[in-house]
């Protein structure tokens, strides 16, 4: 059965930083509806799909009135009549509308619009079939992705208070999602106590992690370890640390700018290597800048079997870059963000490329988010190893974690995915 799209409605809604974003709602002939809201990054890679924003003075140039208008004028007529269940056909059109060469009037509609429309199509297809969105992708998932949860925010999400962007934890000994969150919530609380013991608390960063009142990366890691132990958990056994270095943010042509020093690639990676030896760091995301292939390769070669090197800005959810980077041994796992590539199908191809090259898969939200819970469905439906949506506070984060809990419940209580996949480049 097909279920043709009959209407597309676009509107300006708001994200977790008080910035406008695009929401799209699709309706099909059966009456099925689906909605999607585009998220937004703060530390974006230069190869990401480009958001369309108005520019000018209003709202710092970040309004989306033009994107909303183009969605109704250009995207709506292009999608109406297509089968809402045919995600690939819809996404193919969306990708064309966002290309300079193929878009009508030579004006790309914007990755924010294509992302919102593509997610809306996924949800409308689910409604059309009468199943949850995860079931459109995989009717019988066998595990729930392991949550990776921010405890301290840094980098571009905390006014560059620390160079490193994300200090996260990942439950290791927990076998169910409920146990995982019990462990993480306890660590969030105890880390708060550790910080309170050092002076006034400073609130939270963009993704809900504690604002890092610390002297630098090692101090932040010591705070995490102290919090894990205070929670009665064993670092590296019950709870691992995950870092998103987001090194593109402080990489320059002359090297990496960290705490008043400029380090060459080899020196910087050696410093990270030392941290990986000293602390139980399970995953290390973007240790090198988005153009530093050698830095990523060094990280993969140096950090040993215990640490999985993840590509985010370095890969931008691009299937070709993933295949290339796998061949170059530049990553062990890939971060998947739908809005980096602009469509669900583009991201699904990136997941397939990762699996074809035996790389781990982490499905991730952005630092600017909304109540949209698509990421939980995508992570389960794509069989991701890990899911990352920020901290365990703030509604736009808990919306996704709580959806993951509901999905697990609907599936009868699946176990969590194995911690890290076997990693091709590191087995020797
Ligand atoms: P961003 O941060 O959404 O600001 O890019 C998230 C990440 O880097 O993983
Ligand atoms: Zn990242």
Residues identified as active-site: 207, 337
Express each pLDDT in 175-232 by its tens digit.
999 999 999 999 999 999 999 999 988 899 999 999 988 999 999 999 999 999 999 9
C-beta of 312 in contact with ligand 1 (< 6 A): yes
Whether ligand 1 lies within 6 angstroms of the CB of 150 is answered as: no
CB of 364 closer than 6 angstroms to any ligand 1 atom: yes
Q: Where do you find CATH 3.20.20.120 in the chain?
A: 146-424
Q: Select from 3.20.20.120, 3.30.70.270, 3.30.950.10, 3.30.420.40 the CATH code of 146-424.
A: 3.20.20.120
Write out the two tokens for 72. 């109704």
User: For 234-273, what is each residue's pLDDT tens digit?
Assistant: 999 999 999 999 999 999 999 999 989 999 999 999 999 9
Q: For residue 42, which ligand has an atom nearest its CA?
A: 1
Other C-beta atoms within 10 Å of 27: how many? 19
Q: pLDDT at position 100, please? A: 78
Residues of the chain with CATH 3.30.390.10: 5-130
Q: What is the DSSP letter of 52?
A: P
Cα of 313 vs centre of ligand 2, distance in Å, is: 6
Q: Which residues, listed in sequence order, are joined to residue 368 by a DSSP beta bridge?
A: 40
- Ligand 1 midpoint to CA 367 (Å): 5
Q: Which residue has the higher pLDDT, 75 or 105?
A: 75
Specify the pTM.
Answer: 0.97
Of 55, 121, 44, 131, whose CA–CA distance to 84 is shortest?
Answer: 121
Print burial letters for 53-65: b (CB count within 10 Å at least 16), e (below 16).
beeeeeeeebbbe
Residue that the structure tokens 């079997």 belong to:
305
What would the CATH number be for the domain defined by 5-130?
Answer: 3.30.390.10
Question: Cα 33–411–423 angle (5° rounding)?
Answer: 100
Task: Using most ligand atoms within 8 A of CB, pick from 246, 341, 368 the residue to mutate for ligand 1.
Answer: 246
Distance 144 CA to ligand 1 centre (A): 22
Q: What is the pLDDT of residue 420?
A: 63
């Amino acid at each position: 059965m097909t279920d043709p799209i009959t209407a597309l409605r676009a509107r300006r809604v708001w994200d977790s930083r008080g910035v406008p974003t695009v929401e799209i709602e699709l309706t099909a002939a059966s009456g099925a509806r689906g909605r999607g809201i585009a998220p937004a990054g703060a530390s974006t890679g230069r190869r990401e799909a480009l958001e369309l924003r108005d520019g000018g003075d209003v709202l710092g140039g970040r309004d989306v009135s033009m994107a909303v208008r183009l969605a109704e004028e250009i995207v709506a007529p292009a999608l109406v009549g297509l089968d809402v269940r045919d995600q690939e056909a819809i996404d193919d059109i969306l990708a064309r509308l966002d290309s300079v060469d193929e878009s009508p009037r030579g004006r790309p509609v914007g990755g924010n619009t294509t992302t919102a429309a593509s997610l809306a199509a996924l949800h409308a297809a689910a409604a059309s079939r009468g199943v949850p969105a995860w079931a459109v992708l995989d009717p019988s998932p066998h595990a729930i992705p392991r949550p990776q949860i921010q405890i301290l925010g840094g980098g571009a999400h905390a006014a560059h208070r620390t160079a490193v962007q994300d200090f996260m934890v990942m439950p290791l000994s927990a076998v169910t999602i409920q146990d995982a969150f019990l462990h993480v919530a306890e660590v969030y609380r105890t880390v708060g106590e550790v910080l309170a013991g050092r002076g006034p608390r400073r609130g939270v960063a963009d993704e809900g992690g504690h604002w890092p009142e610390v002297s630098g990366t090692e101090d932040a890691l010591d705070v995490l370890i102290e919090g894990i132990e205070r929670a009665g958990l064993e670092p590296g056994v019950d709870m691992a640390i995950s870092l998103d270095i987001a090194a593109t943010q402080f990489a320059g042509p002359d090297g990496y700018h960290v705490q008043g020093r400029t380090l060459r690639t080899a020196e910087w990676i050696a410093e990270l290597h030392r941290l990986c030896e000293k602390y139980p760091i399970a995953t290390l995301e973007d240790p090198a800048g988005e153009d530093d292939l050698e830095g990523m390769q060094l990280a993969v070669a140096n950090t040993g079997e215990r640490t999985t090197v993840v590509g985010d800005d370095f890969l931008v959810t691009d299937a070709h870059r993933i295949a290339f980077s796998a061949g170059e041994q530049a990553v062990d796992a890939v971060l998947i963000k739908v809005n980096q590539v602009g469509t669900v199908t583009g991201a699904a191809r990136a997941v397939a490329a990762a699996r074809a090259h035996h790389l781990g898969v982490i499905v991730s939200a952005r630092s600017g988010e909304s109540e949209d819970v698509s990421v939980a469905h995508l992570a389960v439906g794509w069989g991701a190893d890990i899911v990352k949506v920020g901290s365990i506070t703030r509604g736009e984060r808990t919306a996704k974690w709580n959806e993951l809990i509901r999905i697990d419940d609907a599936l009868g209580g699946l176990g969590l995915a194995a911690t890290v996949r076997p990693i091709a480049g590191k087995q020797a």
